[in-house]
Amino acid sequence: MELQKSQKKIARELITTGLQRECKTFLEKIETFTHNPRYKADNPHEVYLKLYKKVAAFDKHIARRYNDMRGSRYYLTVLSLFYDDVLTLEDIAAFDDEVRNALMKSVKVFDE
């Protein structure tokens, strides 16, 4: 779906919101990981390697989702954020009825 200019502005804001939420969630998981007493007894280098792998995997995810962002990718990016529960119904309420309904319908199709 190609978004109109007014809807693209909303999409850009939601994409930024999605990026911030994903980073926050990842950092919370890393904090939990680094404070886990189980890892304090491990070899520090092994803990570092586990942490490095988590960061590298997250970096690949973020790059796939957000790099090379163009207007033609806004709808699919918002859809993937909504599908992954990064964006909520409250978030997508900012869109007009057509876009909001298309997002909800697409998520239903993917869930079937």
What is the model's pLDDT at position 83? Answer: 96
Mean pLDDT value of segment 81-109: 96
The token duo for 45 is 């280098």
Give me the helices (H) in the chain, please. 5-34, 37-40, 44-66, 74-83, 89-92, 97-111
Q: Residue 43: which pLDDT band, with cuts at 50, 70 and 90? A: confident
Q: Which domain holds residue 59?
A: 5-111
Q: Residue 78: which pLDDT band, with cuts at 50, 70 and 90? A: very high
d(CA 53, CA 63): 15
What is the model's pLDDT at position 41? Answer: 64
5-34 helix and 44-66 helix, angle to the nearest 10 degrees: 170
What is the model's pLDDT at position 47? Answer: 84
Tell me: pLDDT of 46 over 90.
Answer: no
- The count of domains in the chain is 1
What is the model's pLDDT at position 37? Answer: 76
